[in-house]
A and B are shown apart, each in its own frame.
Chain A
Amino acid sequence: MFGFGKKKELIIVSPLDGVVVPVGQVSDQTFSEDILGKGVAIRPSVGVVKAPADAEIAMMFETGHAVSLTTDSGADILIHVGLDTVQLKGEHYTAHKANGDRVKTGDKLMTFDMEAIAAKGYDIVTPVVVCNPDSFAEIRFAEEGEIHAGEPLIFIKPN
């Protein structure tokens, strides 16, 4: 419209194979109340987290249960594998990248043992959050349902 809205929509792809669920259904207020930003969640079916965009690793948590990235398009993304899983202190998680590493979409970031984590009573649902939503005009998410790593998950309209 009159030259507005021509900027290309940015797409963040799914870091996991699994099922998309609304973040409002996640039983952790940190995510369901958007305290860390605007997000969506995935119930994983395979224990591999892949880079959701070309990006730099801002923070690979020592415990390997979460990672934050700044994408080349300027989105701050947090992937938090499971709820309250900081308490596992890294057990059942393996980090494959380190702080400051450059990654390409699809690069393996972490692996985790889904069965072992679930067996200890943790919910493995994985919120994927845009931590700087105020930097963008609009953020939308893929609809509920099955998704594979590499398929579009978050649609970001630049300002």
Chain B
Amino acid sequence: MREIKHTIKDAFGMHARPAGQFVKTVSAFKSDVKLRTAAGKEVDAKRIMGVMSLGLKQNDVMTITFTGADEANAATATAAFLTENI
């Protein structure tokens, strides 16, 4: 299992576009990916509706866990994506 944390920089939070791009990024990997809020609410990170329903805002910290054969690559790629885009 790999885990990364990210603080949202996008001024509008995890709205439709970043949510879609995030789900697309993690869905490229076979690993099981979960997204958790600081308050402990967890969703399947590959499901758009789940990710949007968290209502993540700017400066919220999100924790993402990867479990599976390609978890290392998935964590690296996702961390790079988040740093660049969200």
Contacts from A to B (Cβ < 8 Å): 28, 30, 35-37, 58-59, 61-62, 66, 68, 70, 76, 78, 80, 86-87, 99, 131-132
Contacts and interface: CB of A to CB of B under 8 A. Distances in A.
- Main DSSP-derived SS at the A contact region: mixed
Contact of A59 (B12, B21, B24, B55): B55
12 contacts: A30-B16, A36-B48, A59-B52, A59-B53, A66-B16, A68-B49, A68-B53, A76-B47, A78-B52, A80-B16, A86-B15, A86-B16
Given A59-B53, A78-B16, A132-B48, 6 more contacts: A30-B17, A30-B21, A35-B24, A36-B48, A68-B52, A78-B52
A61 B24 CA distance: 21
Measured as residues with beta carbon below 8 angstroms from the partner, the interface class of chain B is 10 to 19
B22 to A, nearest CB: 10
A71 to B, nearest CB: 11
Interface of B: 12, 15-17, 19-21, 24, 47-49, 52-53, 55
